[in-house]
Structures are given as C-alpha cells and as structure tokens.
A and B are shown apart, each in its own frame.
Chain A
C-alpha cells in the first residue's frame, strides 16, 4: 500500500477522528489549529483558527455540522464544520482534556484537567441551540472527580451514561440522570490514554499506559479481552468489518530521542479481536502513534503520530484473506 501523508500540523498529533460517513477526517495537534481533510484523496478542506493553546481533543457530531474541540487554552469551542467559524467558546478553569458529542448530537460532554488547584471535572452541556450565549449558560450537569483525573471519555448507550477512563487506570460509568457513578472497575494499572467504541456500541477498547489494551463490555464494564504489548499503548481502534483491533503507541515521547526507530516500536500493531494474537504490523511513523481511527467502512485506517504526520493507510487485498 501507498499511504497518504498529511502534513498540516507543526506539532505532534493529539487526536484524529472520522465523521460518520468517513468522507472527512479531522485532526488536532499541539499546535493551535485543528484540520479537516477529505479522506479519499488527502486534500485539506480547511483549518479551524481561533484557539490559543494545544488542542487535546475533538469530536464531530453525526450530521457533520458541528465540531467540538478542547484546548490547553482553557476553552472548549464549538465550530461550524463547513465554514470553520466559532459558534461558541466556553471557558473552563483548567485545560480541557476530552470532549465528545452524544450520539444524538443534542448534548456534548467535556472534562477538564486536575491542575492549578482545580479538580478534574466532567461537564455536560446542551448544544441544540449553540450560539455565543452558551458561554454564560450553566452546564446541565457538573461532576467533580475527587481522586483522579479523567484522561478519556465516551458516551454510553442511549446517551444515558458516560464512561470515563482515569489516570490511575480506573474506568467508571456514570448515570447522567442521577448524576452519580453506577459502576467502576480497576482492570488497568496505568493511565487510560484512549477509549473507542465498537460500531454497535456494545463494547469498547481501551488503550493504557500499562502496555495493554483491553476490550470491555460497555454495560457491565466486564473485561472481555486483553491485548498485550511491550510499550505504552496510546490508542486502539476496532475494525468495523473484521475481527481486528489496531493498537498504536510506542516509547514515551520524552524517551524517543534516546531510542532508535527500530527499538522504539512505532508500528501500528494488528491483533485478532477474539484470539488476542498479534498477526501483523505496519511501519510508517518515526515517533510514537498518538491516535488511531478506522474508517467507518473498515477498508482503511488513519494514524496520527508524535512526528506530526497523519497517515491514511488503505488496506491491500491480502488484508481481507482469512488468517487462520
């Protein structure tokens, strides 16, 4: 395969996401401008200019009309996807680590960091009539995290729950009507860097600093499978058409300069979803992979790395041949 290399960022990529149809690919990095690309030919549609700090997270709603970004400049911004303009900018007390639209696109959740004397907090806002007045409105729900910081977050089934991953490896599920924790598990021992839902929402895959990725049932939080590697895992994604999971990670960014590209293990690693066995690797990045996303049609996937590149890999025909 000949991957497409998208070079729109000056600093390391923090998150990439496809929209629902998969025709657009959104990327954000530690520089201040999220980018949007046409996924089939790698053409850049535009950049969203307005943030003043590193962008940690982004999400796009199911109609591809709104984009939400969370930044180190202590704001969450909601954008008009088509024109690249800010609809609303919501100030926070510390930097915004994760943000997600609910499945319906009516609400959005975002979480802030534990920093500057502030606790990590989870906010839920109504975005149906988002405009500049959203900054003054109170959030629908606000849950402070007393012990640990949220490092990743997902909406649960029917927009009734929120699943959070914490820096101590804890995974919790919150009922947003009752506003309290329903269940929590401690299967991971390191920070949860990323969580991604399977296409039907019944299970999700986590990527953790403890060098494993795990598959969880999204109702009961039961750990179903474990994928073991030797390096911290930064991101994991489940294929929508095959029983495959792709893991990305590698040496910690601060240790990269003292490691050779061969020893750093910056490959994307493909595991069988059920047998937990690694069956393939794909080289490409020359730094750790920070974010991975499968195209909704499962025929390609994109990876964003510490090296600042986004690579869109389209699978060869050999990928679809049966393995076992």
Chain B
C-alpha cells in the first residue's frame, strides 16, 4: 500500500499556510478610511494594526490647493501620500488646564503666613528660636526636659514587640497616611452612575463644568463597543465642589435617566 507522503505534522502546515503576513488592506467607508496592516512585534508575534483616518473636505485658496499637490522631496521623497507614521503621530488626549488665579493666590498667601511664623520656641512657645529664648536654663526649660524624657519612656513600652512581621501595606494603613493604594487623593472624588450608553466625555464635562473645577474624570467604556458602561468617576479640585455635585446630580434627570451620585469608595482588595 503506497503510503501518502507526509510532508510534516499538521502543526507545521498551519504555520506554513499563514506563515507570511497578510497583505495590508485599505477600506473606505462612509467618510472614514481604515488601513489594516500586519506586523511582527519584538517578540516575533504577529500584530494587527488598524488605523482610522477621517476624510474631510476643505475649501482653500488656489495657492494652498496647489501646494497640496507638490511632490515630496528630501528625506520624505519616498513617502506615500498621507502622513507617514514614522514622522507623524497623534499624541494622547490632553486638556487645557484652566487656572483660577484667585484660588492660587490664596494658597500662596497661606504659604507665606506659614513661613512668617516658622520660628517657634520649644520652651515658651514664643515666636523666636529656642536658642534665643529668655527663659532658657530656667525652671521652665528643665521641666520640659523631664516631661520629654518620661514621654519617650512611655512610648518605648507601648511600641510593638520587634520580630513580628508586618507587611508593608499594613504598615502604611496603620500610619493612616495616604489611604488609597495608589496614593491618589480620593477625598474629592465622586461616582456618578445610571448614565446612558450614549454618554461621552464632552457631555460629562458639560454636566459637571458648572459645578466646579475637576482635576480628572473617567468615563467607563465598553472595551469592544466603546459605549458608556453607565458610570463615571470625577475628581474635583475641592471637596466642597464634590459635595455640591452629589447634592445636584443625585436624582438629576439626564437623557431620560435618573442619575445617582455618591462618594467614590476606595478599592478594597
């Protein structure tokens, strides 16, 4: 019986069939151009790159239109029409940071006040350095020393026994320092839920802009469809604005839905 000549295992054949990269494709669909390319990345894995271009029409002066038809030259001589991804990139989204100068001035004033009273005497609490204190070396001074010594002794007895392991994250929580794991200040963050699917960042900004300045906002979107998942987090600059936002938005009707707003709860793992 003639044995069929077996070239290789099926696994190799699969490799052979799709070994080469599929050719790049360009699809133009209702005003958008989709360019799909396949590449090998650093780890020799195939990756698919989809770029979306918006096709727009503009009315421009004749001279400008003529310049659009100029041939490329120099280092760009061999570039195809359209932006070359080597030299032109779209940066990540950024927002203009609108400053409220009055607030900032106030903050600066506070700082100045602090620096003014930087000198505080340990002995008499006056506004001078301890070294210059007129009560230095008197009974007030020695009393203070004794008090300190006894306080230090008390602290030593209360301290936890050495040798017991405390994980780093617990150490932090005992101190009651920054709170959140990421060290972000979540005190002025709120969660808005029951948003409609068609909600966008612009809508959200529009909604909260009037209430107060926000430092950050996050609108949860579905990974595949890009539609809103129904909730968003907003970090306000000031806690009072956040409180006002909850007051206003909780029960507020928007897009035929009743919103609910509450304080953002810290993640608990």
A residues sitting closer than 8 Å to B (CB atoms) are: 1-8, 21, 23-24, 33, 37-38, 40-49, 63-64, 82-84, 267, 270, 277-284, 311, 315-316, 318-319
Contact = CB atoms under 8 A, between A and B. Distances in A.
A319 B95 CA distance: 10
Contact of B67 (A3, A23, A281): A23
Pairs of residues from A and B, 3 with the lowest C-beta to C-beta distance, nearest first: A47-B74, A46-B73, A84-B73
A226 to B, nearest CB: 16
B74 A23 contact: no
A82 B74 CA distance: 11
Q: How large is the interface on B (under 10, 10 to 19, 20 to 34, 35 or more residues)?
A: 20 to 34
A5 B92 CA distance: 10
A23 B83 contact: no
A282 B75 contact: no
B97 to A, nearest CB: 5
B101 A44 contact: no
27 contacts: A2-B90, A2-B93, A4-B88, A4-B89, A5-B90, A6-B87, A21-B60, A23-B67, A24-B67, A37-B88, A40-B58, A42-B88, A44-B83, A45-B76, A46-B72, A46-B73, A46-B75, A49-B75, A64-B63, A82-B67, A84-B73, A270-B96, A280-B97, A281-B96, A283-B97, A284-B91, A316-B95
Given A281-B96, A316-B96, A43 B90 contact: no
Nearest to A279: B99
Contacts of B89: 4-5, 7
Given A7-B89, A64-B67, A280-B96, 17 more contacts: A3-B94, A5-B90, A6-B87, A7-B86, A8-B75, A21-B64, A33-B75, A44-B88, A45-B70, A47-B73, A82-B67, A278-B99, A278-B101, A280-B99, A282-B96, A284-B94, A316-B96
B210 to A, nearest CB: 12
Contacts of B116: none
B83 A41 contact: yes
B68 interface: yes
The prevalent SS among residues of B at the interface is loop
The prevalent SS among residues of A at the interface is loop
Contacts of A279: 98-99, 101
Contacts of A24: 67
B75 A6 contact: no
Nearest to A1: B94
Contact of A45 (B72, B92, B97, B99): B72
Interface string B238-263: 00000000000000000000000000
- The residue among B58, B74, B83 with the most chain A CB atoms within 10 A of its own CB is B74
A49 B74 contact: yes
